[in-house]
Amino acid sequence: MANGKTVLVIDGGLRGGSGRGNAVLRHLSQSPDVERILVSTDNVGMLRTEKVVGVPKEDTKDIPALRELIKREKPDLLLPLPEAPIVAGIIDNTRDLVPGFGLTKVGAMMMEGSKSVANCLKKLAGVRTAPFRVYHASERDEAIRDIRGRCVLKADGLAAGKGVTVVNGRAEAKRTFAEWEADKALKAASRSFTVEKCLEGEELSVICIFSADGKFVMLPAARDNKLRYSPRTKGRNWNTGGMAAWSDPSIATPALMQRIADEVFEPTIAAMRAMGLEECGVIYAGLMITPDGVIYTLEYNIRFGDPEIQAILPRVKTDLFPILLEIARGGSVENVKLQIDSGKSFVLVIVRRQYPQSASQVVIPEELLNPGEGVEVLHAGTAYYPDHKAAVLATGGRVLNYRNKILVPTLAEAAEVIYGPIGRKSKHDEFDWRGDFKFKQN
């Protein structure tokens, strides 16, 4: 390929893999402008993607090693996908070598590195958010005394999407704090935490891509469901990184999308620019639309949502690579118009039975790796069995993502494409999925 571009993708910290990464790599691989996609990962789906070149893990183990890799391979674009490397400053530490698509360390810390700081940014921008109070870990007893009924507890720092729990009163709050204390990552993330009012309404996820001049373009809206429950969870509804997602034009009318642009993204980006932060990258807005139509922003993320982006990308018919590259080089999205398909996309997450608790590695059965002709399989926590590439191991809690290979007119049809081959109830001892997602036939 003459003048083909090289993209260096960072997923799962400085290495690793995810369903999001597999989905983004498949989109990038379809770009006629992309010749090579460099990534350090064990993820089988990512390694099998066309144009992907695996990079040794030692080449991305830290920033000095990454800089040497960039000098050697000379990629045209650096694309970090998870929040951790962005918050750690991967864009700042490589910008002299390669254009990077993502926020700087300061901007990332402000939007996702600290939930309390993000709430302050919302207030500064005039973006509606739930009433909240910030506590230090030493003030947990005080926080418990202050709780009156249903509320949301949020660990302040990065927690891989698992630091948010809805509790019904003090007893559940005590249990949540105990679980945070017992988990090393959550303990660190919850050195401070917020207690927020639990809002009621329809949740919505909207992602925008924005350039340093403050202009932005929104991707199609999506909805995800994070609850994990089954008889094996002993009646407990665990909050997870996501059990399913879907994208459908009917969940957000053009009028609502315009309001989200005007009431959420425009003032947020303007507030950052007023502080001298001419950032570029992704803003994910987790929204609550109340019954009376008020838009509340529950959270900001600085990354493509997982599993939302897996449901969104099949509907985006525009090649995103040249847009991301232009933004990273300092260009604008002011005149970008995305071509969006009106079809429906549904993504179901296949997890370990123990999820969200940890589990030992196990071989994934062939019928789950290849469930049916109409099902597109994305890999999340997977790796080849050592020295035996015919077998694939489950290495994480979220293992596979199933999505309908062809967009269909209704979500009911999309869900049936997935559930048809595998059923709504897992018969596997080691693997599970939610079987209760049902949609109207329209």
Q: Specify the pLDDT at position 237.
A: 64
pLDDT in tens, 161-194: 778 999 999 999 999 999 999 989 899 999 999 9
Among 95, 10, 89, 99, CA closest to 330: 99
Which parts of the chain register pLDDT below 50?
A: 14-15
For domain 5-100, the CATH class is alpha beta
The three-state secondary structure class of 185 is: helix
Give the angle 336-278-311 at the CA atoms, nearest 5°.
Answer: 45
Q: How far apart are CA 110 and CA 229, in angstroms?
A: 33
Cis peptide before 356 (omega within 30 of 0): yes
Give 147-168 pLDDT, tens digit per residue: 999 999 999 999 877 789 999 9
Q: What is the pLDDT of residue 339?
A: 98
Nearest Cα to 151, choosing from 141, 165, 162, 163?
165
Domain range annotation of the chain: 5-100, 131-197, 201-328, 345-432
- Cα(279)–Cα(270) distance, integer angstroms: 11
Q: What is the pLDDT of residues 220-237, one digit of tens each?
A: 999 999 888 655 555 556
Q: Which residue has the tokens 């988990």?
A: 183
pLDDT at 236: 55
Please state, in angstroms and rounded to a whole number, the distance separating the CA atoms of residues 157 and 187. 10
d(CA 198, CA 149): 9
User: Regarding the domain delimited by 345-432, which CATH topology (the fold level of the hierarchy) does it fall under?
Assistant: Glycinamide Ribonucleotide Synthetase; Chain A, domain 4 (3.90.600)
201-328 matches 5-100 in CATH topology: no
CATH number of 131-197: 3.30.1490.20
Q: Are 85 and 14 in contact (CB under 8 A)?
A: yes
Q: What is the pLDDT of residue 113?
A: 95
Cβ-Cβ contacts under 8 Å for 292 (sequence gap 6 or more):
none
Report which secondary-structure segment, H or E, holds 295: strand 295-301
CATH topology of domain 201-328: D-amino Acid Aminotransferase; Chain A, domain 1 (3.30.470)
